Amino acid sequence: MTGTEPYRDPTAPLDARVHDLLSRMTLREKVGQLNQRMYGWDAYRRTPGGFELTDALYAETERFAGLGALYGLQRADAWSGVDFDNGPGAEDGAALAELVQRHVVATSRLGIPALFVEEVPHGPMALDGTVLPVNLAVGATWDPELYERAAAHAAAELRARGGHVALVSALDIARDPRWGRTEECFGEDPQLAARLTEALVRGMQGSGSGSGELFAPDKAPVVLKHFAGQGATVGGRNSAESELGLRELHEIHLPAARAGVRAGAAALMSAYNEVDGMPCSGNRALLTGLLRDDWGFDGLVMADGLAVDRLARITGDKVSAGALALNSGVDLSLWDEGFTHLEEAVERGLVSEKSLDAAVARVLRLKFRLGLFERPYTTGELPSREAGRSLSTDLARASVTLLSNPDGILPPAPHASRIAVIGPQAATVAHQLGDYTAPQRPGTGSSVLDALRRLAPPGTDIRHARGCALTGGDVSGIPEAIAAAASSDLAVLVLGGSSARTPETEFDANGAALAATDEMTCGEGADLAGLELGKAQYALLDAVVATGTPTAVVLIQGRPHVVPDTAAAALLTAWYPGPWGGEAIAEVLLGLAEPTGRLPVSVPRSAAQLPVYYNHKDTEYGGYVDESAEPLYSFGHGLSYTTFAYGTPRLTGLDVEVDVINTGERYGRSVVQVYLRRLLTPTWPRTLELCAFEGVDLAPGERRTVRLSLDADRLAPSRTVEIRVAASAREALGVRGQSLTAPEDTPL
Amino acid sequence: MTGTEPYRDPTAPLDARVHDLLSRMTLREKVGQLNQRMYGWDAYRRTPGGFELTDALYAETERFAGLGALYGLQRADAWSGVDFDNGPGAEDGAALAELVQRHVVATSRLGIPALFVEEVPHGPMALDGTVLPVNLAVGATWDPELYERAAAHAAAELRARGGHVALVSALDIARDPRWGRTEECFGEDPQLAARLTEALVRGMQGSGSGSGELFAPDKAPVVLKHFAGQGATVGGRNSAESELGLRELHEIHLPAARAGVRAGAAALMSAYNEVDGMPCSGNRALLTGLLRDDWGFDGLVMADGLAVDRLARITGDKVSAGALALNSGVDLSLWDEGFTHLEEAVERGLVSEKSLDAAVARVLRLKFRLGLFERPYTTGELPSREAGRSLSTDLARASVTLLSNPDGILPPAPHASRIAVIGPQAATVAHQLGDYTAPQRPGTGSSVLDALRRLAPPGTDIRHARGCALTGGDVSGIPEAIAAAASSDLAVLVLGGSSARTPETEFDANGAALAATDEMTCGEGADLAGLELGKAQYALLDAVVATGTPTAVVLIQGRPHVVPDTAAAALLTAWYPGPWGGEAIAEVLLGLAEPTGRLPVSVPRSAAQLPVYYNHKDTEYGGYVDESAEPLYSFGHGLSYTTFAYGTPRLTGLDVEVDVINTGERYGRSVVQVYLRRLLTPTWPRTLELCAFEGVDLAPGERRTVRLSLDADRLAPSRTVEIRVAASAREALGVRGQSLTAPEDTPL
């Protein structure tokens, strides 16, 4: 093998290289490129001096005459069993990747390197990876620019460790908080999710990542998860069916994917759930008709783990399941047996070699774009850990959302010198992290208690009582908590849920939790019907509030839970804010930072009133006999320590201008939200649709004009719409709008 | 005007008569035929000697040069304000109809009579009408033949009173018990609903009611409500949007309509809710594309009340709303302003006169089929009240469903001589009736208490304590109930909800309840988020069970409520069984009749696990962290006082045979349920689908072979299916099936 073949020539056009390489490959080699069957952690074993490769890897490369892609080589968590004793960290991840890659290239007749595919849901799911807040917290920042920088950092970490491709949840829309993966959603709104998905793609891939361009060494192609409609499964049940219609899919669940594709996303992951009767990974209308034909997507489609094999339920066997998936538009499989039999599928005439070639070409193209043929082993430079920590903390700080603040409990008055820090989430970092997180080195991060101790004014007396556990009804710790609260000037009560997996967690074949451990109420496989915190937490709240001490309740959670009546307490949610979330929360509690988060989801009053989201259809509905149909807290809601006033919006063409004034005494940030209300329109409209937003930072008394541009595509096909500017969806229901009508012969 | 015009010739073909009449009509007269604007009760006023017509009616007939249709001339209820003081009863309803009709015919230049359209949801909603159990109870009978006879009786009553057309709920599928109109559904299953809808059409219209045939004088054309998908609105919210997809619509929500159309239903009512983004009454794809073009329906489409005007939300005004509805396929409006402006719509070019003519022709055709031109005033003969009572009681008896019976609490042992009858539903008939019910004459019907007193063995000591009200938390009556239970051999605890409207109820413009009165928790406009009975009812149940006296709980309700753990009590549901429901319940309680009802809906454990139905898609789902995802009681479930054994089913072609043996000591009825499980099939299948059922009555020890035929259409387009025979959906999950594969070149 020499360097003279066209596919080895880095100056040759991408298409020519792909074409040339493909023409040299055997059917078996091609099939190998489409498989990603192994768990990465089965490929290596730690030795005293480093790592050695396993027989499992040898068998796999032998079987496929090379290796198409390897999943999770750097993955570390309770499911994989990888931890600091046996897994790769920051210092040796790259060496492990190189070891594996050298073997793959050596066993491939044509020297084709493997793609290393890694979970990067909120930072790399690898030892020493910088953990970011979960997507739901990112949604609460309403700050795509900040998220873009954090995503860039995560990509750089991935590449420096020898990883290539980042699997990132972005496309699921949170429509039912019972779903345990709500934490992986940017929120309930397609516009918010679309803007953050664009930021993700730009941040990870680089801003100019057209499909013909190479990726910089610190940039990573993204697999956007999950395509499509996974947020709409029935009952909030993980990977169950969706019954939703195509129009609903297009209006709510597809815009983030569309935006991601437009931004140049390298790949999408086809979801488990069905759409209009067909699971996404066997859904040609979705993966080919819509994605490739209508949207012009020319990237890669990877199926979710074992999603191809599941198709055997209707095809009768896994060979035909693999054929159905490939023919539908899946290029790369994950863990399935079905795709290993594609050779047989071709021989049986279930799949044409042309279809197979198209899929292989997409895999190869990504490898060429990553420069793997030129630089199979070199990796990017590990970015500074301090920069990562800083970005993670910035995101956490920006996501802390103040939902209520009766009597200005927060920030505490200067004379509040005794603070009781109470609750099962007060003194732990483990439950701040969310699902899909690698084990952390001891001492990483900061709990709320730690941070309050560090950041409170000198002389502040900080006392702590756990009160109760996250789950269960054990109230034996409550008296101690009452005592602490009663003798304090402020009680900070940190409650919530957890997605923390432990070695005791039982897992499904795809890594979703099967039997949740005691404290786990969220994450993949942990759906929660009642949306309730542990029973003892409600008892603890009641007891602490009953002391009469001003109380601030902080919720650390992966979904909106049912929050009790907090008329007497301030209420904040920080979602899962990441390791340094305690610091961000403490800063906001103490008034060292402003609460700037805004709700990316509506907070329901109970599970009985689900679904609850602001952008429902515009039907008159009075509410239930026994409960309001309105959320407790509205999408877009979030208080500040200062106050803002909005001027009358001015509409010029598709530009909206509005003056925003900080009318309070403190610095603050208002998130200007532009909502659309369709008036003359061909199908039944939603009450409101978010169509633009912009955060604006203002000093006390400062006034600034914010200009937002509306997207003409977003307004089509309505003839007349009304534009409303407000600080939340609920507020937008009450403000006067500006009407916008398209000229007679032009659609808007 | 003479009798020589072809349209007046009863021997002329129907089409020719319609065509001739249409050709003579002015545009204004045509528009008049499509309007049904008035409330019928505004057309008359009671006088000492009978009735007189109102200026409102004169104005209406003047405006439209006649009258197309008149809604609710016989309607009596709290909303219309019609009662025994001012409304028409059995003795004078026909005279009132004649009075109005004479005026209409006289004011019509061409002598066109009006259609009198009446609510007949479960018997005529008219004074002295025979009230039947609500549809949900009818669903629980699984007995189309019995229902057909009851429907025939209702039609005969309607026609004898001068009414022509019956509005009947049949098509809504109960998918979310929060919906207040769940009581109007035959259940959650398309097959059960389809069979009962056919029975309804056959019973009311006669079995040979092809579209060219005349209706017998005791038969009434049916308007099947509601088309389509109204059972799938989001959150169980009345007339809210549906987000469901077309495939789900076709598989679950359309089969009953399809069956009704095939059975010859004269008309359908287009629903309020939207389907795939468009309200049904403005949905051409649904009303014309599917209904007329695909299904070949040539009957009438009536819009639900004010549904046309609602379209102005997107068209901008009511004229264009009317045009949209007509162009979509609505023929006859109800109460709307939009259809009154169709003349203007034609003049403005929004509607073609051809489209208008097609709608008018359908209205006229129905009048001809009813023989109204020949016999505008004569009416059918009033059927015997005793027969009506008997049919209503038969249906009620057949619907009583025994859900659990620990330790054989029921029927009571002969020595049980002291029975305490307790609970807010024990001694009232008013709350047995359901929504859409006319006021009852005092003394009509029988409460559970009345009936137990009458039917219990001589010498039985029946004591009564109300215990608490249906709603609210007042527990002051509980001690008295405890005393009664504690000193008895059996406690019968009658709990439930109510749809009873009272003069205090506030109503929306379409008669739906706006503000519910204290005791109303169900019916149109009364959706219930938490599915809970009044709080005091749970306290009462706990208290009664705690006495240790064997307890039988009877639920009288319009939806499945959350029932507490009844491990210690027998549990029955009778839905709303109608006026004589108390008698039916008492017979079953005492063992004078067998419990033969089977659940037409799954009973959820809580609102938090919704949706819950057996025929979900076949996805592996382990359940919620905090609750099972399975229902508490399965669709199809219902115990007997005897026991049954099923033999191994034998499959011959599309016929299934199974031996059923009564293995117990008492007579009983088993409902043999045949479920389908799709194996090789082009789209993702449901876990199970009911595809046939048959009730079989057996004496102790008797064995009978039941033969059921499968519908080939029902099995398509699957290649291989499995057939399972069981006594409930849950049981069907565990039985062995018989496989059925289509020959290579034939679809099943």
Could you tell me where the DSSP H helices lie in B620-689? none
Residues in chain A: 748
Whole-number pLDDT of residue B1? 46
Mean pLDDT over residues B630-648, rounded?
97
Cα–Cα dist A124/A437, whole Å: 8
φ and ψ of B323, to 5 deg: -65, -45
**Confidence at residue B743, expressed as pLDDT on a 0 to 100 scale:** 62
B380-436: pLDDT as tens digits: 789 999 999 999 999 999 999 999 999 999 999 989 999 999 999 999 999 999 999
CA B480 to each of CA A549, B451, B466, B467, B568: distance values in angstroms, whole numbers, following the listed order: 43, 22, 8, 7, 21
The SS3 of residue B266 is coil
CB A257 within 8 A of CB A225: no
Task: Report the residue of B506, B510, B625 to disrupt the A interface, i.e. the one with the largest count of A CBs within 10 Å.
Answer: B625
Chain A CB contacts of B241 below 8 Å: 616-617, 619, 684
A188 conformational bin, left if phi > 0, alpha if psi -120 to 50, beta if neither: alpha
Query: Could you tell me if A274 lies within 8 Å of chain B, comparing CB atoms?
Result: yes
Most confident of A3-17, A729-743, B113-127, B203-217: B113-127
Q: Nearest-CA distance from A617 to chain B in Å?
A: 6
Give every CB contact of residue A627 below 8 A, 6+ residues apart in sequence. Answer: A605, A606, A608, A609, B529, B530
Cβ–Cβ below 8 Å for A617 and B240: yes
Overall average pLDDT of the B303-321 stretch:
97
ipTM of the prediction: 0.95
pLDDT at A481: 98
> Which residues of A are less than 8 Å from B516 in CB distance?
625
Contact residues, chain A, for B235 at CB < 8 Å: 609-611, 629
Q: Is the pLDDT of residue A706 over 90?
A: yes
Q: What DSSP line would sit under A527-543, residue for residue? A: --SS-PPPHHHHHHHHH
Predicted confidence at residue B612, as pLDDT, reads 96
Instruction: Report the CATH architecture of A400-601.
Output: 3-Layer(aba) Sandwich (3.40)
pLDDT of residue B207: 78
- Strand, helix or coil at A31? helix
Bridge pairing between strands B267-270 and B222-227? parallel
Partner B contacted by A243 (CB < 8 A) = yes
Answer yes or no: CATH 2.60.40.10 is held by domain B644-741: yes
* A62 pLDDT higher than 90: yes
Of A234, A314, A624, the CB nearest to B684: A314
> Residues 601 to 620 of B: which have CB under 8 A from any A CB?
606-611, 616-619
- Measured CA to CA, the distance from residue A381 to residue A160 in angstroms comes to 5
Residue-wise pLDDT for A247-301, tens only, equals 999 999 999 999 999 999 999 999 999 988 999 999 999 999 999 999 999 999 9
CA A187, A190, A192, A193 dihedral sign is positive
The percent of residues above 70 in pLDDT, for chain A, comes to 98
Q: How far apart are CA B616 and CA B61, in angstroms?
A: 51
Q: How far is CA A122 from the centre of its chain?
A: 7
Three-state DSSP state, B289: helix
The full DSSP string for B118-138 is EE-BTB-SBTTPPPPPPHHHH
Q: What is the mean pLDDT of chain B?
A: 95
The predicted model gives B647-660 an average pLDDT of 95
Cβ-based neighbours of B164, under 8 Å, separated by 6 or more: B115, B116, B117, B118, B158, B220, B221, B370, B372
Using one digit for the tens of pLDDT, what is the confidence trace for B57-112? 999 999 999 999 999 999 999 999 999 999 999 999 999 999 999 999 999 999 99
Enter the tokens of residue A645: 């006033």
Between A334 and A747, name the one with better pLDDT.
Answer: A334
What pLDDT digit, counting tens, does each position of A552-574 carry? 999 999 999 998 777 789 999 99
pLDDT tens digits, one per residue of B133-189: 999 999 999 999 999 999 999 999 999 999 999 999 999 999 999 999 999 999 999
CB contact under 8 A, A245 and B246: yes
Q: Structural domain boundaries of chain A? A: 6-369, 400-601, 644-741
Q: How far is CA B248 from CA B245, B251, B747, in A?
A: 5, 5, 22
pLDDT band, very low/low/confident/very high, at A505 (cuts 50, 70, 90): confident
Predicted pLDDT at A747: 46
Do the Cβ atoms of A617 and B679 come within 8 Å?
no
Task: Check pLDDT > 60 for residue B599.
Answer: yes
Contact A619 B235 (CB under 8 A): no
Question: Do strands B569-573 and B551-556 pair parallel, antiparallel, or not at all (unpaired)?
Answer: parallel
- Predicted local distance difference test score (pLDDT) of residue A212: 77
Interface of A with B in 330-369 (CB under 8 A): none
pLDDT in tens, A126-169: 999 999 999 999 999 999 999 999 999 999 999 999 999 999 99
A209: pLDDT confidence band, cut at 50, 70 and 90? low
Query: Is A241 close to B619, i.e. CB distance below 8 A?
Result: yes
Residue A631 touches partner B, C-beta closer than 8 Å: no
Instruction: Identify the CA nearest to B163 among candidates B222, B220, B111.
Output: B220
DSSP H helix total and E strand total for chain A: 22, 26
Contacts of A608 in chain B (CB under 8 A): 178, 529-531, 607-608
From B328's Cα to the closest Cα of chain A, the distance in A is 13
The architecture (CATH level 2) of B6-369 comes to Alpha-Beta Barrel (3.20)
Least confident residue range of A618-632, B13-27, B540-554: A618-632
Record: contact A678-B314, CB cut-off 8 A: yes
pLDDT score at B513: 80
Size of interface A-B (CB pairs under 8 A): 189
Nearest chain B residue to A527 by CA distance is B624
- CA-based nearest distance A246→chain B, Å: 6
Higher pLDDT, A535 or B509: A535
pLDDT, residue A744, reads 54
Which residues are B739's β-sheet partners?
Answer: B722
**Cβ–Cβ below 8 Å for A316 and B679:** yes
Share of chain B above pLDDT 90, in %: 90
**B504 has a pLDDT exceeding 90:** no
Please indicate whether, in this complex, the C-beta atoms of B178 and A240 are within 8 angstroms of each other: no
CB A180 within 8 A of CB A526: yes
- Residue A245's pLDDT band, with cuts at 50, 70 and 90, is confident
Query: Could you give the dihedral angle defined by the CA atoms of residues B134, B135, B136 and B139, in that order, rounded to the nearest 10 degrees?
Result: 130
Kindly provide the residue ranges of all beta strands, DSSP E only, lying in B622-688, ordered along the sequence: 644-646, 650-652, 655-662, 668-680
Tokens of B181: 């109109």
What pLDDT score does A1 carry? 46
Q: Flag if B529 and A608 touch (Cβ within 8 Å).
A: yes
- Is the CB of residue B690 less than 8 Å from the CB of residue B599? no
Q: Sort out which chain B residues have CB atoms less than 8 A from A529's CB and list them.
A: 606, 608-609, 624-627, 629
pTM for the structure as a whole: 0.97
CA angle A435, A437, A442 (to 5 degrees): 125
The pLDDT mean for chain A works out to 95
